[in-house]
Structure 1
Amino acid sequence: MRDITFSRPLRGMMLAPAVAIFAAFWLLPMAALARISAGDGLAGYLAILTNARYLRSLATTLALAGGVTLTALALSLIAGLFLARRRFPGRHALIAMLTLPLAFPGVVVGFMVIMLAGRQGLLADAAAALFGHRVVFAYSLGGLFLGYLYFSIPRVILTLMAAAEKLDPALEEAARSLGASSWQVLRDVVLPALAPALAAASALCFATAVGAFGTAFTLATDINVLPMVIYTAFTLNADLLTAATLSLVLGAVTWLVLAWADGLDGQTVATGA
């Protein structure tokens, strides 16, 4: 097949829309945030970054996102491998149900958690009937974890299913013929082959959980996750300096995770894992 070549002016015209979108939705806003965050110089910047409240908020956000990522990977790996390799009646309906949360905005996810674990939720009613007191955790870190996990699992499952369907069954059959157990096949054949997909899925899940706002806005009444701190600083306190600085910190953390996943992807491919 002949390679299609384009003249330099035509290439420029084809790239112009992408460059314009990149500048409008990323470059210019990031430049504005950097300009605002540098308003008081380095001293003001360091004062915000060393503030104990903001550091606790960042630590809570990262711990929550990390826990959600690990849990989503564990659950989605099992479900993804099963759905990728089994054909049974109702499979497509089950996949559709598992991926349905992708259609819900964060506020709706938060409302669903309230209906499950809020003061008038199903779990509270069941606990009151069984034990005489209501169990409520929708507005705690546990409720936020549940909401984040709910909308993270579909993203991870779809990524792992797509990768699992491309695995060569002959490699697993060869390992079994050499006496490997099911656990050894999973550990030595399947997981290394899925490493790039696992890295991509974990980065996507972590980045989404770190920056999730709609669910946090609905549930985090007493939890200072970083998106809520930024929202409060910007809208309630009109503190643009703090909001811009924390936004850059949040963006930098997310970028580092995505860059790590991209580097890990390249390393696993290069080593033939």
Structure 2
Amino acid sequence: MRDRHFDLVLILPLAIFVLAFLALPLARLTIAAGDGEQGLMAFLAILTEARYRTSLIATLLLAVLTTAVTLALATVAAQTLANRRFPGRSVLLSLLTFPLAFPGVVVGFLVILLGGRLGLVGSVTKAVAGTNVVFAYSLVGLFLGYIYFSVPRVLLTILAAAEKLDASLVEAARSLGAGPIAIQRDVVLPALFPAMYTGGALCFATAMGAFGTAFTLATNVDVVPMLIYTEFTLATNASMAAALSIALGLITWLALAIARNRAMRDATGR
């Protein structure tokens, strides 16, 4: 009986949090999505109306590309840092994770300084070729901004797994004649897959819902977070904004659920 009471005390804060910050807001959001002129057909409009469909596809492609590139960069960096000790390693790791201190608006500003109308790249290309190259306000600028703040998050996740990798497994594979590619394919990457699934899912979720960077850079493109903002504030279309929010949440939740399931299966070997 004491254990049951203790369990109830422990679960009470979680239950309050789930009810107050998840269940009730989601229920209210669903009701708001059905209160508009279109009713629940607002969800169908996301796929049938060109503006919403194009925005959703662009957001998905941007998130998938960001996740793929981030995983590649973070995996290489994590293995390099985990397997080597050298002077300045801690400083390098601090620099690689420094973007975690920046909010999305600051990241967007840094991209503008690089590829904006008065940015570094534009100044150099104008001086060399007479053409001012501007990419900060396009999907390219968003992609670079997302990479900038995604790599540190995924790097820390994979680095923790890489540091726990049993070096004797790599040495055994090498002694049996396995080359670097075979070692990566058969030994190292399978051990890192759970962390890669987790880091990739978090990266995908962040890229799908990032607002600060999109608010700063998405001048010529409509990603879903910005579309939600404009529908709610400029078009005063709260029902459509709610429907887009739910759709965005469901896609992100599905990606997280799949990644969690795969990570658990790989970790348990089932």
Q: Same fold (TM over 0.5)?
A: yes
Q: Identify which of 4, 26, 29 aligns with 2:25.
A: 29
State the Cα distance separating 1:198 from its structure 2 match: 0.8
Residue 175 (structure 1) aligns with: 173
| Alpha-carbon spacing, 1:21–1:263, altered in 2? closer, same or farther (3 Å) | same
Equivalents in 1 of 2:135, 2:171: separation in Å? 46
Deviation at 1:74, TM superposition (A): 0.8
Structure 1 residue 130: deviation in Å?
1.4
User: Aligned partners of 2:150, 2:254: CA distance in 1, in Å?
Assistant: 19
Where do residues 88-237 of structure 1 align in structure 2 (5 Å cutoff)? 88-237=86-235
- Structure 1 residues not aligned, in runs of 5+: none
**Structure 1 vs Structure 2 CA RMSD:** 1.4
> Which residue in the other structure is 1:10 paired with?
6
Report deviation, 1:267: 2.2
- Report the AA paired with residue 163 of structure 1: A
- Aligned AA for 1:168? D
Distance (whole Å) between structure 2 residues aligned to residue 270 and residue 236 of structure 1: 49
User: Does the 8 Å CA contact 2:33/2:40 hold for their aligned counterparts?
Assistant: no
* Cα 1:97–1:42 shift into 2, 3 Å: same
Amino acid corresponding to residue 237 of structure 1 in structure 2: A
Q: Distance in 1 between matches of 2:42 and 2:209?
A: 24
Aligned twin of 2:250: 252
Q: Using structure 1 for the length normalisation, give the TM-score.
A: 0.94
**Deviation sequence 1:203-224 (CA, Å, 0-9, x none):** 0100000000000000001101
Deviates more, 1:16-25 or 1:222-231: 16-25
CA distance in 1, matches of 2:32, 2:54: 23
> Which residue in 1 is equivalent to 2:15?
19
1:75-126 residue CA offsets vs partner (Å, 9 max, x unmatched): 1111110001111111101100000111100000000000111011111111
In 1, distance between residues paired with 2:26 and 2:160?
A: 34
Shift of 1:6: 4.6
1:183 CA drift (Å)? 1.2
SS of the equivalent of 1:194 reads helix
1:46-98 CA distance string (max 9 Å, x none): 23442221111000000000111111111111111000111111110110000
Partner residue of 1:46 out of 44, 55, 66 = 44
CA contact (8 A) 2:74 2:151 kept: yes
The offset of 1:131, in angstroms, is 1.3
SS class of match (1:7)? helix
Q: Deviations along 1:129-148, whole A, 9 cap, x unmatched?
A: 21122111000110010000
Question: How far apart, CA to CA, are the structure 1 residues paired with 2:7 and 2:67?
Answer: 40
1:180–1:6 CA distance, 2 compared to 1 (3 A):
farther
CA distance in 2, matches of 1:270, 1:12: 30
Task: Tell me, in whole angstroms, the C-alpha distance in 1 between the residues paired with 2:142 and 2:258.
Answer: 26
Provide the rounded CA distance (Å) in 2 between the counterparts of 1:44 and 1:206.
25
Number of aligned pairs? Answer: 268
Identity over aligned pairs, percent: 54
Counterpart of 1:20, as a letter, is: I
**Equivalent AA in structure 1 for residue 31 of structure 2:** R
In 2, Cα distance between equivalents of 1:67 and 1:42: 31
| Distance in 2 between residues matched to 1:217 and 1:43, nearest whole Å | 28
Q: Which amino acid aligns with 1:47?
A: A
Partner of 1:242: 240
Distance 2:214 2:42 in 1: 28
SS of the aligned residue for 1:74 comes to helix
Query: Hey, what's the Cα distance between the residues in 1 that align with 2:267 and 2:148?
Result: 30
> What letter matches 1:245 in structure 2?
A
CA distances 1:158-199 after superposition (whole Å, capped 9, x unpaired) = 011000001001111110010000111011100111111111
- Structure 2 CA distance for aligned equivalents of residues 48 and 11 of structure 1: 43
The answer as to whether partners of 2:43 and 2:244 remain within 8 angstroms in 1 is: no
